[in-house]
Amino acid sequence: MASKIVPVIMAGGKGTRLWPLSRSAAPKQFLQFLGDHSLFQKTLQRVSDQGRYTPAVIVTNAEFRFIVAEQARALDAPLSSILLEPIARNTAPALAAAAFVVLREHGDDAIMQVLASDHEIDAGAHYFDCIDMARETAATGKLVTFGIKPTEPATGYGYIETGEALETGAHLVARFVEKPDRERAEELLASGRYLWNSGMFMLPVGQFLAEILRYAPAVYDAAQRAIQAAERDLDFDRLDEEAFSQAPNISVDYAVFENTPHAAVVPSAFSWSDLGSWDSVWAIGEKDEAGNVVGQKATVNDTRNSLVLSRDIHVAVQGMDDVAVIASEDAVYIGRMEDSQNVGQIVKQLARSAKTKGLTENHPTSYRPWGAVASVLSGERFEVKRLHVTPGRKISLQKHHHRSEHWIVVRGTAEIMIDGQTRLLHENESVYIPQGVVHRLTNPGKIALELIEVQTGSYLEDDDIIRLDDEFGRT
C-alpha cells in the first residue's frame, strides 16, 4: 500500500479582500462565512482520513498561532507541527521549510500535499480521485499542481496550459500564463487546453528540495538554516528569523514550477473557489428562490441575486438587486456585486487615514490563547468587554497599575483567584477586582465561559497587564 500523504496547510495570509469581515489581524481562513466551520477548519476536515493522511503540518505566523491551535483543537484534529514564520517571504521559502520538516519526519520519498487554508472546495468522490491521481503522479518524480477546469473566462486566476498526457492521467505542464485580461481569458477558455492555477500541489519531498536547490539555492539555504536553528515554543516551532529573512521573497510558481521540466498538472473538475471576492462567496452559497444568499442575522424583501451577511447586528435589505451587504461589529460594506473585486480600493482608502486605519487591521473581537475578547462599549475612563474562555483554559496571573475590573458571569462557571483566595462564580454572579490586586480567571467547566468585563481607571490599554505567570509563555 502507498505511504500516507503528509498534508502541509498554508495558513499565514493576511488578505483583506473580504472586508469588513476579513482583516489583516483576522483573515478569511479563520472566519465562518457560511456554515459552522472556518475555511481553515474545513481544510483540516479534508485531510482527516487517517488511512490516507498523516497529521498535518501547518505554516502560519506568530500572530495566528493560538487561533490555529484552538480551531484544530475544536475539531479534535491532530497536528504534526505548527511552523511559525518570523517574517513573510511568500510561498517558496515557506514550502521549503515545511519540506525540510517532512524530510526529517518521513524521509525523502515522502509525498506532501500543499493546501491553501482559505479555499472552498467540494471534497466529494471526484476530488479524492484527483488526489489519488496526483499522488500516483508525484510518486514518479513529478511536481504536481491541480488545474481547475475553467467554467468562465475569469481574469482573477493564472492559467496552466496542458501538455503531453501521462500514464497516470495527469499531463505535463506546457506553460504557465499570468492573469489575463478579459479578451485573452476568453481565448484561453475557447482553446480547451488551459486550466485555472489553483495553488495546490502534490510534491515528492526529495525531488522538490532538489529542484529548489537547483533553481532557487538562496531559498534552499535560508529555509534549511531556519529549520536547523528553529526554537520550540510550547506547541509551536519558531523558524529562525535571521536565517529565514535571508530568503528571497518569491512564490513557488516563479521559483520552481516555471523552471522545472518535471512539472505536471491534474485536470480537476471539482467545485473550487479561492473566495477572493464577495461575488465568489455568493456563488457558492445556498440561494433562496430570488437568488439571494442570506445569513442568519439578515432579512431581505423585494431583493434579488444579492449577498447579505452580518456578524453581529441584524441587517434588513429592501428593494435591492445584485448587491453585497456585509456587516461587521464596527463597519458595513454596501456595493454592487459586479464591483466586488474592487473592495481593496475601499480598504486602501480607509488605511490612509489614522482615524479609520484600525478598521482594516483589527476586529472588535480579537483572539487570545485562552479564548476571545470583544470590545462592546468604551468611553472616557471606562470600557466594557465580552470575554469567552475556552474550557480548561486560564488567563495569566496578573495585576493592573491603572485600572480596576468588574466581572459578571453570563454563561458557564468561573474559577476566580483574587489576592490568593479562590472561589467559584456562577451565572448572574459578579466579582470586583481592585486596582493593583493579583488575580486570575479560569474556566474549570466543559462549556465555554462567557463574562462581561467592565474596566474603569485612568489607563485601559493592554500594556497595563503585568503578567506574573502565564501558561502560554507571554510576558
Residue 78 is predicted with a pLDDT of: 93
CA atoms within 13 A on the CB side of 254: 10
Residue 2 is predicted with a pLDDT of: 62
CA 91 – CA 94 distance, rounded (Å): 5
CA 100 – CA 98 distance, rounded (Å): 5
CA 70 – CA 82 distance, rounded (Å): 12
Residue 455 is predicted with a pLDDT of: 96
- The pTM of this model reads 0.86
DSSP E strands in 380-461: the ranges are: 382-389, 397-400, 403-411, 414-418, 421-425, 430-433, 439-442, 449-457
CA 162 – CA 466 distance, rounded (Å): 59
Contact present, 451 and 407 (Cβ < 8 Å): yes
The length of the chain, given as a count of residues: 475
List per-block mean pLDDT (blocks of 10 residues) for the chain, which spans 475 residues. Answer: 87 86 87 84 95 96 88 92 93 97 95 95 94 97 96 90 95 94 93 94 97 97 97 90 96 95 96 91 93 94 97 93 94 94 92 90 82 88 94 94 96 95 95 96 95 95 90 74
CA 372 – CA 364 distance, rounded (Å): 10
